[in-house]
Amino acid sequence: MQGKRILLGVTGSISAYKTAHLTRLLVKAGAEVQVVMTEAATTFITPLTLSTLSKRPVLTTFVKDETGQWNNHVDLGLWADALLIAPASANTIARCAQGLCNDLLSAVYLSARCPVFFAPAMDLDMYKHPATLGNLAKLRAYGNHIIEAEYGELASGLVGEGRLAEPETIVQTLDRHFSLRPAMAGKRVLITAGPTQEPIDPVRYISNHSTGKMGYAIADAFAKAGAHVTLVSGPTALSVPDSTICRIDVRSAAEMFGAMQQAFPESDIVILNAAVADYTPAHPADQKIKKKDALFDLELTKTTDIAATLGSQKRSGQLMMGFALETENERQNALKKLHAKNLDWIVLNSLRDQGAGFGHDTNKITVIDKHEAVYEFSLKSKEAVARDLLQLVERVL
C-alpha cells in the first residue's frame, strides 16, 4: 500500500461512520487517500472528520468555489491507483451499474481507469433483492471487484448479510491486490474463438451460430491477468477487448488449423473455444452455383481435428482446454473427448440449459479435468465464466 493513491468514495449508508477508521488504516498503511463523498453521505459523517484523517480536503461537488474552479472527475480518475467505494449503498450500486452520472462520485467512477472496488452495505432484504444482485453482477461483469458484505446484526435490528466489511478486511483486500504479481505474467496463451466458414462457392458457405463472445471473454480475462494472448478468431462482429491481445483472423477450418500449428509450439496454455466445422465441401466451386435442379447434392469431407492433432503434439508442461457443446449424453460425450484428445480440461455446454450456448451473453458450464474431477458452475455472464476458467488454470499453475 505504500505510496498508492486511493480514491475513497463514501455514500449514504449508516456504515459511513466506519470510514473514519478505514481512512486512518489506509493512511497508516502508507497510502495517499482522497475522499469523495455523496451529498447523502455527509448526513452520516462530516467531511471535516474525513478531511482531518486523510489530510486532504474532502470533495463533494463538481464546483470548488464561485471563481469557477472545479473538481475535475477525469483528473481524479487518472490520479488514482484504485477507486474504493465504501460503503456502497444500493442506490450508488444501481447508478454505477446503469452508468448514471449525476454527482461527482459517479462521474469519477465512469472516468476511472484504475481497478474499482465496491464494498456494499445495506439492509438484508435490500442486499438480497434481485435488483441489487443483478446490479452487482453487472459491476462484476464490467471487471470491478466486489468486497462482499458480511453477516451480522444490521442497523434495522435484523441479522443477516449486509454489514459493511470491516475496515481491516477492506485494507487487506487492497493490500493483496497491490502485492500480487499478475497470475499469468509471462505465460503465452493461445485461444480460438468464433465460427469457421467453409466455402461452397464464392457466395455461399457452411457455418454455425457461434458469435465468438465466449472466446473473446476468455482472451480478455487472461490478458488482464498478465498473459501474452494470441487470439485466433473466425469471422465475428466483435472487437478485441484488450489492446495487448494479438488477434489472427481466419475464415475456414483449414486456415484456423494452419494458424494454430504455427503458434502452438511456443504456447504454454491452449484454449480451444472456437466452433470449428467438422466437415467442409470437398469441391468448392470457383463460380457462383446457379439454381437449377430441385435437389442439390453437396459432397463433404472431414476437416482436420485441431484439438486431437494438437493434443497428440502436446509437450510436457503445456496445458490444453477444450470445449464440448452437446445436446444428449452430455457427460459421456465430454469425457470421451477429454481423453481422446489428450486435454487437461473439457468445458461442457448443454444446449438444453436455458441461457447457455450460442448467441447468449450468459453461459452455464461444467468443467471436467483429466483426473475426471467435476466442477459445476451456475448460469452467469460469459465474462464471469471466463474468470472461473482462469481460476481453474491458476490452481494448476
Rounded to whole angstroms, the Cα distance separating 108 from 264 reads: 42
Known binding residues for CTP are 278, 288, 323, 337, 341
Q: What is the pLDDT of residue 74?
A: 83
> Do residue 136 and residue 51 come from a single domain?
yes
> Quick check: 325 and 239 in contact, CB under 8 A?
no
Same domain, 76 and 166: yes
Same domain, 140 and 256: no
Rounded to whole angstroms, the Cα distance separating 346 from 364 reads: 14
Among residues 179, 197, 227, the one where a domain terminates is: 179
Instruction: Note the pLDDT of residue 158.
Output: 84
Question: Model confidence at 68, in pLDDT bands (50, 70, 90)?
Answer: low
21 and 89 housed in the same domain: yes
Q: Using the predicted structure, report yes or no on whether residue 291 has a pLDDT greater than 80.
A: yes
**199 and 118, same structural domain?**
no
- pLDDT value for 77: 85
CATH number for the domain spanning 11: value is 3.40.50.1950
Residues 161 and 204 reside in one and the same domain: no
Is residue 336 pLDDT above 70, yes or no? yes
Name the CA dihedral angle for 249, 254, 259, 264, rounded to a multiple of 10 degrees. 140
Mean pLDDT score, 33-39 = 96
What rounded mean pLDDT belongs to the chain? Answer: 92
Q: At 318, is the pLDDT very low, low, confident or very high (cuts 50, 70, 90)?
A: very high
The region of weakest confidence among 43-52, 96-105, 239-248 is 239-248
Residue 352 lies in a domain: yes
Q: In this structure, is residue 131 part of a structural domain?
A: yes
| Per-residue confidence band for 78, with pLDDT thresholds at 50, 70 and 90 | confident
Q: What is the pLDDT of residues 181-230, one digit of tens each?
A: 677 888 999 999 999 999 999 999 999 999 999 999 999 999 888 899 99
- pLDDT at site 160: 85
Residues 122 and 220 occupy one common structural domain: no
Percent share of the chain, pLDDT over 90: 72
What does the pLDDT read at residue 192? 98
Number of structural domains the chain divides into: 2
Q: Is the domain of 123 the same as that of 224? A: no
My answer on whether 221 and 82 are in the same domain is no
Q: Which residues contact 290 (CB under 8 A, 6 or more apart)?
A: none
Please identify every residue annotated as catalytic: 208
Judgement on whether residues 83 and 223 belong to the same structural domain of the protein? no
Residue 303 included in any domain: yes
Lowest mean pLDDT among 3-12, 223-232, 345-354: 345-354
- Domain end point (choices 179, 207, 226): 179
Same domain, 322 and 196: yes
Asked which of 179, 205, 232 is the last residue of a domain, the reply is 179
* Residue 289 resides in a domain: no
Binding-site entries: 278, 288, 323, 337, 341
Q: Which domain does 245 fall in, by range?
A: 188-279+299-396
319 — pLDDT class (breaks 50, 70, 90): very high
The pLDDT of residue 67: 67
Q: pLDDT value at position 180?
A: 66
Q: What CATH number did the domain enclosing 207 receive? A: 3.40.50.10300
Query: Half-sphere exposure (CA, 13 Å, Cβ side) for 375?
Result: 15
